[in-house]
Structure 1
Amino acid sequence: MTQSHVPAPADPAAVPASPPPLVIAGHGTRVNAGAEAAFALVEKVRGLLPGVRVEAGFVELTPPTIDRALDAVLESAPAAVVVPLMIGTGGHVRDDIPEAIESSKSRYTDATVVYTRHLGSPAPMIAAVHARIAAARDEWAADDTDVLMVGRGCSVTEANADHVRLSRVIFETGGYHQVLSAFIQVARPSVPEILHQYYASGSRRIVVMPHFLFTGRLDEWVHGHVEAFRAAHPDADVRIAEVIGPCDELAQVVAQRYKEGALRARTSAGSPAYLTGLLLQGRKVVVVGGGCVARRRVPKLLDAGARVEVIAPELHRSLQTLADSGALTWHAREFTPSDLDGAWYAMAVTDSAETNAAVAQAAEQRHTFCVRADKAGEGSAWTPATGETSGVTVAAITSHDPLRARRIRNRFLEVVNEEEL
């Protein structure tokens, strides 16, 4: 498509009949192996999202550019989702990718483009980092290993701070002797500075983890710094871990970011949820978690006649009263996937993101609709803001704005009450 091409306007009232396409927005590299790894990841993501068109675009160096990749999908789709293939929220996430999106939207003025959050460090990414470190340390015990987490480094303080925070997470979840942060460019401390700091403290077993998605110039620079340090300190054993690479964990995170964005990638107004009323009388409903959120939700489920089973090591006192009376069944333990066998509906309302994710995954496998309280977009159902008055139940549901939903519900209740006057 040439710059002068004027696309046909999309029908603003139309809802895409098929899932919106995905454009994965990467950095780009001069290193062929890095570019090949990026396209290998695209293939993995395609495998996780059957029926979704998945393309890649890049900020620089590797074709096509992000705006041209977006142009290509918007030629035949009224909406698209762009996922930044970036660990941190630096300049590319804040400026370059949004500018590319705006460039494409200037040509497809009626298109809806949803730009998702960056990858960050969710549990699958943490697991991938630990796996790379474990492979590098090999026979070394974790508590006898010092780890150097190398980040990209940029002029955005928050992005650098996120890398330092990640190092703390890796330390507390990996059992290593020490974990310190360094940056390969722009920010300090540098890789040589931390290597010398480790050496001065007596460390002789060091794993350097280049926290990059794919190999490239940054990875090459890390290897150069380590080789120079080894030459000057032959008594120190410094091993370099592999970059994250186009692994299953990374593909899962990209696919999840897409799913979050796809909920909003609509060209019509309103919530992406399909509103219906569930008739739960006599049907099994599983609530995982026994805290304050469960305290609010369970009584409504009981009022609907559901056979409620609560899975939680401990119960809120009001739920304990219901359990003692026999109104619900309480399993005083941690969740297992088999808890959802035969369930029509499930709620994941614990304080643990890992447990909530496990509940949502088990529900998906069983075709059981599941509300996830901590991350609504990662469940398969949402709980509306409801209210009852004058024999009427009203509900409002929005796109990830519960406060607005409650305000709208209250207005609905006012309208119903006015009709009774």
Structure 2
Amino acid sequence: MTTAHVPAPTDPAAVPASPPPLVIAGHGTRVNAGAEAAFALVEKVRALLPGVRVEAGFVELTPPTIDEALTEVLADEPAAVVVPLMIGTGGHVREDIPEAIRTAKTSFPDATVVYTRHLGSPAPMIAAVHARIAAARGEWAADQTDVLMVGRGCQVTDANADHVRLSRVIFESGGYHQVLSAFIQVARPSLPEILRQYYASGSRRIVVMPHYLFTGRLDQWVHQHVADFRAEHADAEIRVAEVIGPCDELAHVVAQRYKEGALRARTSAGSPAYLAGLLLNGRKVVVVGGGCVARRRVPALLKAGARVEVISPDLHASLNPLAESGAIAWHARPFTPSDLDGAWYVLASTDSAATNAAVAQAAEERHTYCVRADRAADGSAWTPATGEAAGVTVAAITSHDPVRARRIRNRFIEVVNEESL
């Protein structure tokens, strides 16, 4: 009797736990209130990620260090996600946190540690800044208020440039009279320099926004500079806004960065997607957005026999003939959740992240699989890189690299063509 060869099971240590733990990598501070705020944020993130172990480590001043926190996690788990609790891309993000990760991994060389992108200035963070400015200006009208955005300042030009860019975003989205940038250390212009510039131009209602996550020495320095300026310019009203703090908006951004990293943490086990071929013949498929993504996806959906409905005020020129012939149903208007009633599959491909999020949420409520073209991790399905050769359709999905998926797809096609010779 011949015994068939049974492959050995995958080494459990090679497959990251699902979900992997999260280590939030913060700055640290000598100010107790700032440290307390950081740990308050950790609790908020834990509430948003039930079932996920969430720990915190710090670059300096506040214990534990990042490498200590990560080492403790890796002693129990084969993988972890590290989210830098940093607004910009200064030296801590580029050097200190990666060095802490390398230190922790010396004891666990086979562990998978995914280091995510920094926080940046996504919509929730912008909303939090506007809320702090609104609370500080009180009865002042926005268009009669000058805002001074104070960043940390560092030797990394890109990080300083991101702060200046943020000021422009705050200006255009807030309706303020003016918004200028300053830095509390290292980089110029300094906070006193911009206060003097504002005053010389006639500004007398100024809100200073310390663009920091938590209170600490930087925040204290901002208040001191403003107090010194007030003492010499009694006719100017200068109000200092609160720092961002451990708010819901910040917690949601950290949780989102974690979710992005958690997908990548499974790289050693292959893509986290479960592969299946959808038989869409005669079934309703909704494509929200009529642009370039729809131009590529709609013909493939039609080829599969789907009943395609496109929801979009505008339609790509190449799709117009399909709409005119009745091959697709085009609804020339914005999306509404009821558009997904009866749909088997959904593609969210608009230029608006908010609209795509609404589409994904409506699909989730209907237990309908949805691909988000802008943020794959926030959908419930992914579109693979596909190709056809010699009567075979091949597809490749990676965890976080569509370019690699297309490259692998092309290699698959070469193998199929060689096999058919």
Work out whether the TM-score is over 0.5. Answer: yes
* Residue 17 of structure 1: how far off its partner (Å): 4.4
The match for 2:170 is 170
Deviates more, 1:301-310 or 1:146-155: 301-310
* 1:2-401 mapped onto 2 (5 Å cutoff): 11=11, 14-266=14-266, 268-401=268-401
In the superposition, the TM-score normalised over structure 1's length comes to 0.94
* Residue 410 of structure 1: how far off its partner (Å): 2.0
Confirm or deny: 8 A CA contact 1:88 1:119 kept in the other structure.
yes
Confirm or deny: 8 A CA contact 1:294 1:349 kept in the other structure.
yes
CA distance in 1, matches of 2:17, 2:88: 33
Deviates more, 1:395-404 or 1:192-201: 395-404
* Residue 12 of structure 1: how far off its partner (Å): 6.8
CA distance in 2, matches of 1:364, 1:163: 36
Confirm or deny: 8 A CA contact 1:79 1:267 kept in the other structure.
no
Deviates more, 1:220-229 or 1:372-381: 372-381
Confirm or deny: 8 A CA contact 1:12 1:267 kept in the other structure.
no
Confirm or deny: 8 A CA contact 2:22 2:81 kept in the other structure.
yes
CA distance in 2, matches of 1:192, 1:142: 22
CA offsets 1:129-172 (integer angstroms, 9 cap, x no match) = 11111111122111111100000111111100000000011111
CA distance in 2, matches of 1:365, 1:185: 48
* Residue 37 of structure 1: how far off its partner (Å): 0.9
Q: 1:13 to 1:188 in 2, by over 3 A?
A: same
CA distance in 2, matches of 1:182, 1:331: 48
Confirm or deny: 8 A CA contact 1:153 1:186 kept in the other structure.
yes
Residue 140 of structure 1 aligns with an amino acid whose one-letter code is W
CA distance in 1, matches of 2:186, 2:370: 44
Q: 1:200 to 1:217 in 2, by over 3 A?
A: same
CA distance in 1, matches of 2:252, 2:52: 15
Runs of 4+ with >6 A deviation: none
* Residue 38 of structure 1: how far off its partner (Å): 0.7
* Residue 240 of structure 1: how far off its partner (Å): 1.1
* Residue 32 of structure 1: how far off its partner (Å): 1.2
Confirm or deny: 8 A CA contact 1:345 1:370 kept in the other structure.
yes
User: What is the RMSD of the two structures over their aligned residues, measured on CA atoms?
Assistant: 1.7
Secondary structure at the residue paired with 1:35?
Answer: helix
Confirm or deny: 8 A CA contact 2:266 2:399 kept in the other structure.
no
CA distance in 1, matches of 2:46, 2:306: 39
Residue 339 of structure 1 aligns with an amino acid whose one-letter code is D
Secondary structure at the residue paired with 2:124?
Answer: helix
Residue 393 of structure 2 aligns with an amino acid whose one-letter code is T
* Residue 408 of structure 1: how far off its partner (Å): 1.9
Confirm or deny: 8 A CA contact 2:281 2:304 kept in the other structure.
yes
Confirm or deny: 8 A CA contact 1:111 1:267 kept in the other structure.
no
Q: 1:383 to 1:66 in 2, by over 3 A?
A: same
CA distance in 1, matches of 2:333, 2:261: 34
* Residue 11 of structure 1: how far off its partner (Å): 4.4
CA offsets 1:282-335 (integer angstroms, 9 cap, x no match) = 333221110111011011112222222211110012222212222222221222
Confirm or deny: 8 A CA contact 1:12 1:268 kept in the other structure.
no
Residue 315 of structure 1 aligns with an amino acid whose one-letter code is L
Deviates more, 1:161-170 or 1:263-272: 263-272
Instruction: Give the gaps of 5 or more residues in structure 2.
Output: 1-9
Residue 118 of structure 1 aligns with an amino acid whose one-letter code is H
Confirm or deny: 8 A CA contact 1:288 1:349 kept in the other structure.
yes
Secondary structure at the residue paired with 2:180?
Answer: strand
Secondary structure at the residue paired with 1:268?
Answer: helix
CA distance in 2, matches of 1:242, 1:338: 41
Residue 358 of structure 1 aligns with an amino acid whose one-letter code is A
CA distance in 2, matches of 1:65, 1:367: 42
Q: 1:277 to 1:23 in 2, by over 3 A?
A: same
Confirm or deny: 8 A CA contact 1:347 1:373 kept in the other structure.
yes
The match for 1:7 is none
CA distance in 2, matches of 1:47, 1:310: 37
CA distance in 2, matches of 1:17, 1:29: 32
Confirm or deny: 8 A CA contact 1:12 1:110 kept in the other structure.
no
In the superposition, the TM-score normalised over structure 2's length comes to 0.94
CA distance in 1, matches of 2:125, 2:77: 31
CA offsets 1:71-120 (integer angstroms, 9 cap, x no match) = 11111110000000000000100111111111110011111100000000
Instruction: Give the gaps of 5 or more residues in structure 1.
Output: 1-9
Confirm or deny: 8 A CA contact 1:13 1:268 kept in the other structure.
no
* Residue 57 of structure 1: how far off its partner (Å): 0.6
* Residue 412 of structure 1: how far off its partner (Å): 1.6
Confirm or deny: 8 A CA contact 2:284 2:344 kept in the other structure.
yes
The match for 1:5 is none
* Residue 65 of structure 1: how far off its partner (Å): 0.8
Residue 289 of structure 1 aligns with an amino acid whose one-letter code is G
Q: How many residues align?
A: 412
Confirm or deny: 8 A CA contact 1:116 1:257 kept in the other structure.
yes
Identity between Structure 1 and Structure 2 (%): 85
Secondary structure at the residue paired with 2:264?
Answer: coil
CA distance in 1, matches of 2:268, 2:197: 57
Q: 1:48 to 1:384 in 2, by over 3 A?
A: same
* Residue 13 of structure 1: how far off its partner (Å): 5.9
Secondary structure at the residue paired with 1:223?
Answer: helix
